[in-house]
Amino acid sequence: MISETLPIYKDVVTLIETLISYCADIPRFARFTLAQKVINNCTDLLDLVQLTNSVPNREKRTEYMEEFICKFTTIKTIIRILHETNNLSHKQAGNIALITESIGKQATAWKKSFEQ
C-alpha cells in the first residue's frame, strides 16, 4: 500500500518499535496499563494514516487527521506520565521525543494542506 511509503507512516512504525524495545524495562503494572495503551494507540495511528491517504474527500481527510492528532496527543501525554513516574529513563524519553516531534510536524502540515 502506498501509505507505507509515507514518512509519517514510517515514523509511527519506528515509534512502535522503539516503545516495544523499551517495554521490557517498564515494571509490569505500567507495562500492561500505560505502555500497552500507547502501543495500541500507535497502531490506531497507522490505520488513520492509511484512511487519510486513501479517501479522496477533503472533509473526511481532515476528520481522520483530527482524530490522528487527538490520539497522538494522548500518546505524548502517556509517554510523559511514564517518564515522570520513572518508568522511562531520560535517554529513552529523549529518543521518543525526537520521533514524536517529527510525527507531530508532519501531521500538522498534512492537516493544514487539507484545509486550504
Number of domains comprising the chain: 1
Which triple of cell numbers denotes residue 30?
Answer: 505500567
Query: Which segments within 8-114 are labelled E, that is strand?
Result: none
pTM of the model: 0.92
* pLDDT tens digits for range 42-71: 999 999 999 999 998 888 999 999 999 999
Q: Which domain holds residue 13?
A: 2-115
Residue 107: CATH number of its domain: 1.20.1440.60
pLDDT of residue 112: 87
Q: What angle do CA 26, 12, 100 make, to 5 degrees?
A: 70
Mean pLDDT of the chain: 93
Q: Which residues in the chain come in under a pLDDT of 70?
A: 1
Asked if residue 55 lies in contact with residue 3, where contact means CB atoms within 8 angstroms, the answer is: no
